Amino acid sequence: MQRTEHHASFGGRQEVWQHTSTTLGCDMKFGLYLPPAALAGEACPLLYWLSGLTCTEQNFITKAGAQQVAAELGLILIAPDTSPRGDNVPNDPAYDLGQGAGFYLNATQAPWAKNYRMEDYVVDELPTALAALLAQQGVKTTGRQGIFGHSMGGHGALTLALRHPGRYQSLSAFAPIVAPRLVPWGQKVFTAYLGDDPAAWAAHDAVSLIATAQDRLPILVDQGTDDEFLKQLQPELLQAECDQVGHPLTLRMQPGYDHSYYFIASFMGDHLRHHATALRG
C-alpha cells in the first residue's frame, strides 16, 4: 500500500491509496475518507461508492460533496477505480468498453478475462486489503458495510448487493443501469465480457436478480428527469419488478436534473443518511 494523497477534510482525512491487485493484475487506486469519529478511535461502518463510465476514484472524492455529511454521520467512505488499468491491460478505443468500463463483473471472454474481474476485486480483494490497512492505522470498524454508486456504478451496487446476500447492509443508487441486458451499453459489454449466453447476462442484471433476492434491503434510487441517458437507464423497469415481488424500493424522479455530479451532489446527503440509518441505527 502506498498513500498518494492526504488532505484534511471536515475534521477527517481524505486519502488516496495505491496497491498492486493480484485479482486484476495491475496497480489500482482507491479513495478513502476517514471521518473524525474514526480518527478518534470510534468504530465506524464502511460505505463503498462505485463510479460510472470513464470515471476514476477522483470523480467521487472531488465532485460528490460527500465528506461533510460523512463526517457528521461517522461513515468511512471507499471509492475504488472503475476498472483495471495499465499498458498491459486490454482496452478499446470506445469510452464504454475496456479501461474505465469494468461494469463490476468477472469477464469470461478473451482478451478481457485475465484482468477484468471487478466483482472479485470489489467484493473480496479490496475489503481484505482495506481491513489490513485500517488495522495498521488503528482505525476500528463496526463490521457493517453498505454500497452505492452512479450509472454503471449504480448497476454495480445493485447487482453486487443482490448477488452477495449478507455482504452489505444498505444499498442505494443514482441513475443506475437497471437492466443492462436490454440496452446498448449493457449489450455491448456483456457480449464482449460474457459472450452470448443469456443466463450469464441475466446474472448481472438487477431487474433479473430482484425476484430471487435473498436479502430485501430497502433500495433508494434517485433519477433525474432531464438525464440524457434515460432511455438506457429505464428506472421504471426496476420499479415494476420491485412492485411485482414486493422488494422495498424508493424511486425518486428528480425534475430538471441530469446525469452529472451536480445531480449527485444535490442528493448525496439523503443517500448518506439512508445508509447511516441502516448501518448505525
Q: Which residues are marked as active site?
A: 151, 227, 259
Nearest C-alpha neighbor of 148 from the set 83, 79, 97, 71 = 79
CA 96 to chain centre: 17
| CA-to-CA separations, 41 to 68, 180, 227, 274, in angstroms, rounded | 19, 42, 41, 24
